[in-house]
Amino acid sequence: MVQPLNRFRETPSQTAGPYVHIGMTPNFCGIEGAYAQDLGALMVNGKTQGERITVRARVFDGTGTPLRDALIEIWQADAAGLYNSPSEMRGAADPNFSGWGRKATDMESGECIFETIRPGRVPFRDGRMQAPHISFWIVARGINLGLHTRMYFPEEEAANAADPLLARIEHRSRVPTLIAARADDGAYVFDIHLQGEHETVFLDV
């Protein structure tokens, strides 16, 4: 016999289900009055530092149909590369930027829109700088465990080429699944594919 480690096991995940909006974006689904506004709906205000950007995201199933009942959360650094989090020990992030956003995908088009800022660069574990990126977390009916991935920026070619996470992707043809496109109106478009030829690289982090 040896001493027990006395560790606990993580509570198992269960799907967010089709009614995720009731709990997480109640105003979006018509339950008004419970909360003044949906949490994570606004990421920036008039004093937020940095370049304003728009990110339009969709999530596609294995038939290429956009999910109209998904919920996406994003998490990113501020313009100076600092996270608005108690675990950020490198300095104080912009108090006018939460760094965190939450949107339900539209019940008709399947699109959701984040109004945010261009994130600064943050270091990898070994001190190398990562390319600018936004973390995505996707939950929906039919997804048993929330999916983590990242969005990178198309014009950051040099930074992307040197990014330690992107460098770890064995099949180089899959790297573009993490890089947003730029629409004519300047918005970034990030399409997430759950399955198929263009399946997005999802992360076990």
Q: How far is the CB of 75 from another protein (least distance, A)?
A: 5
Both tokens of residue 37? 């506004």
Q: Which of 56, 57, 69, 117 touches another protein (CB under 8 A)?
A: 69
Q: Which stretch binds another protein (CB under 8 A): 82-90, 109-117, 153-161, 179-187?
A: 82-90
176 touches another protein (CB under 8 A): no
Contact call for residue 14 and another protein (CB under 8 A): yes
Please give the Cα distance from 153 to 156 (Å, whole number).
6
Does 66 contact another protein by CB under 8 A?
no
For another protein, which is the closer residue by CB, 77 or 180? 77
Sheet with 100-104: list strands edge to edge: 100-104, 70-75, 133-140, 147-152
| CB of 53 or CB of 135, closer to another protein | 135
User: Using the rule CB under 8 A, which residue among 4, 33, 46, 186 binds another protein?
Assistant: 33
d(CA 113, CA 99): 15
Among 158, 168, 184, 185, binds another protein (CB under 8 A): 168
Minimum gap (Å) between residue 186 Cβ and another protein: 25
The verdict on 194 binding another protein (CB under 8 A) reads yes
How many amino acids of this chain bind another protein (CB under 8 A)? Answer: 80
* Cα distances (angstroms) measured from residue 104 to each of 74, 107, 156: 12, 8, 28
Q: Does 16 bind another protein (CB under 8 A)?
A: yes
Residue appearing with tokens 């300047």: 186
Q: Please list every residue from 91 through 150 that binds another protein, using CB under 8 A.
A: 98-100, 107, 122-126, 130, 133, 135, 137, 139-148, 150
Q: How far is CA 103 from CA 42, 88, 98, in A?
A: 10, 24, 14
**Integer CA distances (angstroms), 82 to 17, 51, 121, 134, in order:** 33, 15, 8, 13
Piece of 47-55, 67-75, 108-116, 151-159 that binds another protein (CB under 8 A): 67-75
* CB distance 83 to 134 below 8 Å: no
Closer Cβ to another protein, 93 or 184, answer by number: 93
Does 162 help bind another protein (rule: CB under 8 A)?
no
* Cβ-based neighbour number of residue 184 at 10 Å: 5
Q: What is the CA radius of gyration of the chain?
A: 18
